[in-house]
Amino acid sequence: MIRIDHTYWTYPHAEQPSLRDLDLHVVPGEFVILCGASGSGKSTALRLMNGLIPHFHDDGILAGIVTVDGLITADAELDAIGLLTGTVLQHPRRQFFTDSVPEEVAFAMENFGVEPEEIRTRVTKAVVDLSAGVPVGQRLRDLSGGQQQQVAIVAATAHWPRILLLDEPSSNLSADAVRRLTVTLADLKARGVTIVVAEHRIRYLEDLVDRVIVMRDGAIDVEWTAAQFRAVPDEELAREGLRGVVAAVDLPVVPASGPSIAGGVDASDVPEAELELEAIRCHLGGRAVLDIDRIAFSAGTVTAIRGVNGAGKTTLARVVTGLQRSTGVVRLDGKVLGARARQRASAIVMQDVQRQLFTDSVQAEIHLAAAHSRAPQTEEILDALDLTAFAERHPLSLSGGQQQRLVVAAVRVAGRRIVVFDEPSSGVDRRHLQSISDQIRRVADDGAIVLLISHDDDLLALTADCQLTLAPAIPDSVSDVTATTAQDMSSKEIR
């Protein structure tokens, strides 16, 4: 089904190849995990399989032959490969072509000439399936990162591809969404779909996987059958830099009040602290996503912000940092701060860190972040996050995990009073999880107010002092959305 024969790939302007003599064969119906440290070549291998290399990254150097269901990817048309494959990227907003869930699910089918009535049937079913965790009537851009990830998976499989390629599919998902993902992948495997997943968190797939391949420096380092993988002790996974059994997290609860607070208290029971939020109300697309009476966050403390996908965690972060309109009052050290003042007082690591990279080198990115602060030694921070060797590299040439660490380093040197980390470990291996945790702790130790949004219990166990859990807003009516979907699809010209 997939053959990568002794293949090398070097990205434009890179001094060393990202893949070195990669020799990988995947048989029809097989479920394969690609794992390994950040920058080991996992995402690059997926780009070989879906034809993005060399058709999209056409300035690099490719040696070797890659075939997918008999098609030589370098010679085949990209749409022919796309008909065979479905791909879900690490940051799915980069692969959306429309502005609504139904249209996104229909998009690939329309382009591949699926019959209009069949498109309507599949879209309606998809809307119902997604409604368990996604407000399907919302615009795609208003969904949380985890909700967008769930939509991307459904959209990538709606045209019934024979191969599904997933890049860190659990990275932004809450525990309930990971369970739904597992059920979806089990169903696809039962239907005979060939599945290749690049992942750092691998234990949730152990009942589905047929083979686990550990990559190192662009080549296969270790290979385990399903039985061998299930028998691998956590200590061996640690030696390979892989995530193991998820840590149990039991953190003290931050007192807070309001409908958006799970297990909230009376507003009068919320103590004073350096950062205080009162009467915060926020709507997106006409839908209430945040309704908080009172919260107070203390300096020198890492507060974990938890909750299911769509509960309003990122919206809260955007309100705190002045990036999201809302009603209510935000005080820092007793002084009311408007949106612009909060922006000047804050730093944030976003889920999609590519949106925060502005310069032409890693070193320049750090110097830009440190320009207006009395920063700690930048060289020390780059070394702690394993970025010294990439100091002269363009940030966009780094792997997803390396970019994540670079933005964490930039935030560390910015010296702001309020610092938000939004899923900072989404593309991070076990080794670098510890270094990121260390940097977050040091930000708090420097006296900052630190909010850590994460579904990663490993990171929370290492880093957080206390937790605030947000309750999800009331979802859209599924019957109303499916009725609207059917009407829209029937009135729309489908080619």
- Banded model confidence at residue 428, pLDDT cuts 50, 70, 90: confident
Q: What are phi and psi of 138, to 5 degrees?
A: -80, 155
Strand, coil or helix: 25: strand
- Asked if 134 contacts 92 with a C-beta cutoff of 8 angstroms, the reply is no
Residue 152: pLDDT above 90? Answer: yes
Q: Where are the alpha helices (DSSP H) in 288-371?
A: 313-320, 339-345, 362-369
Superfamily of domain 256-464: P-loop containing nucleotide triphosphate hydrolases (3.40.50.300)
pLDDT averaged over every residue in the chain: 90
- Banded model confidence at residue 493, pLDDT cuts 50, 70, 90: very low
Superfamily of domain 2-247: P-loop containing nucleotide triphosphate hydrolases (3.40.50.300)
SS3 of 409-429: HHHHHHCCCEEEEECCCCCCC
Average pLDDT over residues 266-272: 93
Q: Edge-to-edge strand order for the sheet containing 85-88?
A: 85-88, 163-167, 194-198, 31-36, 211-216, 219-225
% of the chain exceeding 90 in pLDDT? 67
- Banded model confidence at residue 331, pLDDT cuts 50, 70, 90: very high
Residue 487: pLDDT above 60? Answer: no
Rounded to whole angstroms, the Cα distance separating 134 from 165 reads: 22
Q: What is the pLDDT of residue 483?
A: 46
Residue 395: pLDDT above 80? Answer: yes
Average pLDDT over residues 15-40: 94
As a whole number of Å, the CA-based R_g of the chain is: 23
Residue 103: pLDDT above 70? Answer: yes
Residue 93: pLDDT above 70? Answer: yes
Q: Where are the domain boundaries for CATH 3.40.50.300 in the chain?
A: 2-247, 256-464
